Amino acid sequence: MTIKRMLLASIAIACVTAPVSASAETADKKIALSNNYAGNSWRQAMLTSWDKITKDAVSQGIVAAADPFTTAENQATEQAAQIQNLILQGYDAIVINAASPTALNGAVKEACDAGIVVVSFDGIVTEPCAWRIAVDFKAMGESQIEYLAEKMPDGGNLLEIRGLAGVSVDDEIHAGIQAGVEKHPQFKIAGSVNGDWAQDVAQRAVAGILPSLPEIKAVVTQGGDGYGAAQAFAAADRPIPTIVMGNREDELRWWKEQKDANGYETMSVSIAPGVSTLAFWVAQQILDGQDVKKELVVPFLRIDQDNLEANLETTEAGGVANVEYSLEDAQKVIDAAM
């Protein structure tokens, strides 16, 4: 079964949907993407997915425009100003990957008051007028500890690699990891660094903290940092622990090499970057007058030892294991939430 089929099956196992067509009611509508950061492979894959799906939608006359905008710095003040500019430019909907769940609420409310549909995803906003497409990031973090508890029941010291400081996704995954450690006290977080969801940043951060750490049994991560962690351990001539991966191609390829060489075992988990395409279609459906719940939840994407090769084969070099959503896929997600 492909990744996409597994994800959609988990969203709507019993969902039966009538054939869906994009209404001409949105042919003159303009949708913008407000993105706060593009400095890692996940964000690049997210933007690539957006570009691929929305260009087709524009060429088919489903919407008039679907323009992406990324801030130069990961600053909520800069993104708020960006959103205010998009309001002035006359966009009918703004899809947001937010730098903060709360700091953008003022700008989001301005957009709503101007009659603009606002859909947030990944980094969501808490302003009630906006729609939210979220993954249970806390469960994603906790799933790592559950996996390790089965693999190493005696526990041990863990190194935690966090994401971008101050972003809600980082806080939620961290909370899940903490909850897992509380449930399985045989594990101890011996050290923590911020890897910013980027391999190079993670490698430098791990290299910096390793000399002060005891033996590490496993590394828990947030995505985009597993390969960098492995390189840091190797450079320090320390045993490679079990490193939870984040679905990046370089991580999966390294895992496959180690699996073939010595039977290395781990798991990999992340949100599919193509969730941006789901957010696009949700915005389009709202503009089309469809009834859509304010809170939508999509599953995270997990890769295990037995399906590593299949997922690596379908992941682009330098990319991330991914799922992109069609209009029909989005309709299934919407219907499953009703």
Closest to 173 in 3D by CA, of 160, 182, 185, 186 = 160
Q: Which residues pair with 119 in a beta bridge?
A: 95, 131
Q: Does residue 156 lie within any of the structural domains?
A: yes
Q: Does residue 278 lie within any of the structural domains?
A: yes
Looking at the structure, tell me whether residues 75 and 143 fall in a common domain: no
159: CATH? 3.40.50.2300
Confidence of residue 304 (pLDDT cuts 50, 70, 90): very high
pLDDT single digits (tens) 227-271: 999 999 999 999 999 999 999 999 999 999 999 999 999 999 999
Domain that holds residue 219: 137-244
Q: What is the pLDDT averaged over residues 295-321?
A: 94
Q: Is the pLDDT of residue 13 over 70?
A: no
Looking at the structure, tell me whether residues 224 and 280 fall in a common domain: no
Confidence of residue 17 (pLDDT cuts 50, 70, 90): very low
Closest to 39 in 3D by CA, of 168, 200, 208, 178 = 200
Q: Is the pLDDT of residue 7 over 70?
A: no
Q: Does residue 315 lie within any of the structural domains?
A: no
Q: What mean pLDDT, rounded, does the chain reach?
A: 92
Confidence of residue 22 (pLDDT cuts 50, 70, 90): low
Task: Please give the tally of structural domains in the chain.
Answer: 2
Cα gap 334→288, rounded to integer Å: 13
Q: What is the pLDDT of residue 162?
A: 98
The answer to which of 7-11, 192-196, 234-238 has the lowest mean pLDDT is: 7-11
Closest to 68 in 3D by CA, of 87, 91, 51, 43 = 51
Looking at the structure, tell me whether residues 34 and 118 fall in a common domain: yes
**Contacts of 53 by beta carbon, 8 Å cutoff, 6+ apart:** 274, 277, 280, 281, 324, 325, 326
Looking at the structure, tell me whether residues 234 and 190 fall in a common domain: yes
Q: Does residue 267 lie within any of the structural domains?
A: no
Looking at the structure, tell me whether residues 219 and 237 fall in a common domain: yes
Q: Is the pLDDT of residue 291 over 90?
A: yes
Three-state secondary-structure class, residue 321: coil
Looking at the structure, tell me whether residues 146 and 211 fall in a common domain: yes
pLDDT single digits (tens) 68-97: 999 988 899 999 999 999 999 999 999 999
Q: What is the pLDDT of residue 39?
A: 87
Assess contact for 259 and 235: CB atoms under 8 A.
Answer: no
Q: Is the pLDDT of residue 24 over 60?
A: no
Q: Is the pLDDT of residue 21 over 60?
A: no
- The 10 Å Cβ neighbour count of residue 265 is 14
Looking at the structure, tell me whether residues 118 and 203 fall in a common domain: no
Cα gap 303→315, rounded to integer Å: 12
Looking at the structure, tell me whether residues 118 and 145 fall in a common domain: no
